[in-house]
A = this chain, B = another copy of it.
């Protein structure tokens, strides 16, 4: 089939050479794959860009957030826009290389876990017809190696939701209709779509976001139906409390604005939509903040460190080992503890702990009677 993207492939070789010289890109090896990974943005190549020989997989562009629906729609959009669900997972770019499907994380690391599971979710035929295609997708579910939280509608394992398409060596994403045509033609799993709206549709969009809020879902991404293909995201109030709860022991691990931005977003959401901040909501928020630290303190007292436990399932045992090795290399040997790796039905189940070193170090200092100056 034919798709109609606007962007043409461009010669990125000079930019890559320059980026290497300035140490914004670095040779990276994971398993049998050697490639270049962009640690920082350099010219048109964003952070997370990966170069596999001739194939330049550009980093997925950051999407700005509005905290007010009504004025945000008016201010950000010049044309109607499509609305899709924002899925609470991690962002990957999926592409083919030497007959293998591979998945890159946001920062451009090859992910042995996602890569292992791609064939369970993605019909490869699309890459026969479009060898230079890049699927931009969210991976979400309780059995993943990165995120604490997951959408309420995924009970087990993971799911993959494609939300954008790119091509090697080309900036930008497919126009929306071209994306739909290709996703439909190959039966690729896509994020839920809610239709096409204009900035006047505040009423229906408010209904939509309040419905998602009640269901504990994360929010929406709005994509302008225009050549500039502008994107904006907007999240529900409840997702802020969920995020705080999911990361509640990371009080030193995550920057303090991680928590305070979410409190601010929650307040703005309540205010705009005329929702009452109930005693139950206050209690839930307070507990999310204090309870996590108390649990982490208990974990530290009992085990001398604070950690998160993860579980995920692999088709190939070697990929589980590769994930552990890659994580140890990236986070430090002592920070990743494998608990279990064993066959269970058609899968190998991996269980491991990821230490929060900064939270652990902070507790060590404070519980030992150390001083802080502030």
Establish whether residues B282 and A290, one from each chain, have CB atoms under 8 Å apart when the complex forms.
yes
- Stretch from A1-9, A120-128, A158-166, A259-267 forming part of the interface with B: A259-267
Within A275-328, which residues are at the interface with B (CB < 8 Å)? 277, 279, 281-287, 289-291, 293-294, 297-298
Cα distance A373–B255 when bound, in Å?
15
Chain B residues with CB below 8 A from A232, complex form: 371
Chain B residues with CB below 8 A from A256, complex form: 255-257, 259-261
Given contacts A263-B290, A371-B66, A371-B232, contact A268 B366 (CB under 8 A): yes
Which of B255, B270, B289, B371 has a CB less than 8 Å from the CB of A294? Answer: B270
Establish whether residues A286 and B294, one from each chain, have CB atoms under 8 Å apart when the complex forms.
no
Let me know if A64 is at the binding interface, CB within 8 A: yes
Given contacts A260-B259, A263-B251, A297-B267, contact A71 B368 (CB under 8 A): yes
Number of copies: 2
Which of B74, B286, B290, B370 has a CB less than 8 Å from the CB of A369? Answer: B74
Cα distance A294–B298 when bound, in Å?
34
Number of interface residues of A (CB under 8 A): 54
Establish whether residues A285 and B289, one from each chain, have CB atoms under 8 Å apart when the complex forms.
yes
Establish whether residues A271 and B297, one from each chain, have CB atoms under 8 Å apart when the complex forms.
yes
Establish whether residues B271 and A294, one from each chain, have CB atoms under 8 Å apart when the complex forms.
yes
Let me know if A208 is at the binding interface, CB within 8 A: no
Cα distance A289–B265 when bound, in Å?
12
Chain B residues with CB below 8 A from A264, complex form: 251-252, 293
Chain B residues with CB below 8 A from A111, complex form: none
> Taking CB as reference atom, which chain B residue is nearest A289?
B263
Chain B residues with CB below 8 A from A15, complex form: none
Chain B residues with CB below 8 A from A370, complex form: 66, 72, 75
Establish whether residues A287 and B277, one from each chain, have CB atoms under 8 Å apart when the complex forms.
yes
Cα distance A374–B264 when bound, in Å?
13
Within A326-374, which residues are at the interface with B (CB < 8 Å)? 366-374
Which of B64, B75, B283 has a CB less than 8 Å from the CB of A279? Answer: B283
**Most chain B CB within a 10 A radius of its CB, from A260, A268, A297:** A260
Given contacts A260-B251, A264-B251, contact A371 B76 (CB under 8 A): yes
Let me know if A67 is at the binding interface, CB within 8 A: yes
Known: A263-B290, A281-B286, A286-B287. 10 other contacts (CB 8 A): A67-B372, A71-B367, A75-B370, A256-B256, A257-B374, A263-B293, A267-B297, A277-B290, A282-B286, A286-B289
A residues sitting closer than 8 Å to B (CB atoms) are 62, 64-68, 70-76, 232, 251-252, 255-257, 259-261, 263-264, 266-268, 270-271, 277, 279, 281-287, 289-291, 293-294, 297-298, 366-374
